[in-house]
Amino acid sequence: MSQPLRISLAEAVRDAAARLLRQAGWPAARLEAELLLCEAAALPRTALFIDPDQTLNAAEQASFEKLLQRRLEGEPMAYILGRRGFHALELRIAPGVLIPRPETELLVDWAVEIMPAHKPLQCADLGTGSGAIALAMAHARPAWTLYAVERDAAALAVAAGNARRLEVENVCLVQGDWLAGFACESLDLVVANPPYVRTADPHLACGDLRFEPTLALTAGVDGLSAIRRILPQAARVLRPGGRLLLEHGWQQGAEVRDLLRLAGWCGIVTRRDLAGLERATGARRAPRRQPTG
């Protein structure tokens, strides 16, 4: 019986990158081929540079081909590998949770910059998904308590797994509908990367978005229905002077500022992401009104 042809790591990467580029047009084809191969062969990425002539055995080759097929069919790298880096952490990711985006790190950096580091602040992350924002903030600020709120039980289980594995102890997982379960004036900070894509947005049929949970992505015809629900709840639950930081679409800055202004929020500011796009807006809950008369 003839031996199956043994191919080297270098050949495997070259062939796979060419297929990814030709069949799927992925711009990061070579990087993706390398990551998939290392996953299939349980190798560190350095092996590709130190020992590129090492050959794959049949089982490794078969497992690489399986992963490659999934990627060629468009499945996101984060779901295939089951992980994604976010801020200072590496998170486990599963289908059913939104894949953390680099632009969302802006919310974490912003909160860490403006809120006192050493006070025992009470903070909530709404629609936590994999737990990315809550865990990154809790990790950066051990004095704070982060309530990671999620409606979907399966997503909450992914967040719980991440909290346990990363040994982040100042996170409390809460199954709930935005801030419905929180007492009046009990929080110092509310952050959220809510769904904000318009239901008819053609991007939903492209790239990773096709595989991600619709509930985490879309929010009505104008993409603002979740933010409209969050604002009054945050106004009730934040202490006077407490902060709200919301991610939104790059074309929604003006609309989100208007919604906040009309609802009586103060200090409304929008920040841009690294691509220079309006990506998040923050505001302060107005101080309590003095009774008149």
Residues that bind ligand GLN (CB under 6 A): 101, 193, 195-197, 209, 217
By beta-carbon proximity to ligand GLN, the closer residue of 41 and 179 is 179
Cα separation, 79 vs 261, in Å, equals 39
- Provide, rounded to whole angstroms, the least separation between the CB of residue 152 and ligand GLN: 14
Q: Which is nearer to ligand GLN, 1 or 275 (CB)?
A: 275
Q: Which is nearer to ligand GLN, 61 or 193 (CB)?
A: 193
Strand positions, DSSP E, the chain: 83-86, 89-92, 122-126, 145-150, 171-175, 187-192, 238-247, 266-272, 278-284
Residue 67 CB, nearest approach to ligand GLN (Å): 23
Nearer to ligand GLN, 12 or 249 (CB): 249
What are the residues whose beta carbons fall under 8 Å from the beta carbon of 212, sequence distance 6 or more? Answer: 76, 98, 99
User: First and final CA of the chain: distance in angstroms?
Assistant: 98
Tokens of 20: 């990814």
Residue type, 173: L
Residue 42's contacts (CB-CB under 8 Å, 6 or more residues apart) are none
Instruction: Provide the minimum distance between the beta carbon of 247 and ligand GLN in the complex, in angstroms, as a whole number.
Output: 6
Minimum Å distance from CB 72 to ligand GLN?
21
- Whose Cβ is closer to ligand GLN: residue 57's or residue 214's? 214
- Select 19 or 101, whichever has its Cβ closest to ligand GLN: 101
Least separation in angstroms between residue 293's CB and ligand GLN is 44
Tokens of 160: 């719980």
CB of 102 to ligand GLN, least distance (A): 10
Max intra-chain CA distance, the chain: 98
Q: Residue 232 CB, nearest distance to ligand GLN (Å)?
A: 20
CB of 166 to ligand GLN, least distance (A): 22
- For ligand GLN, give the closer residue by CB, 91 or 217: 217
The residue (of 37 and 111) whose beta carbon lies closer to ligand GLN is 111
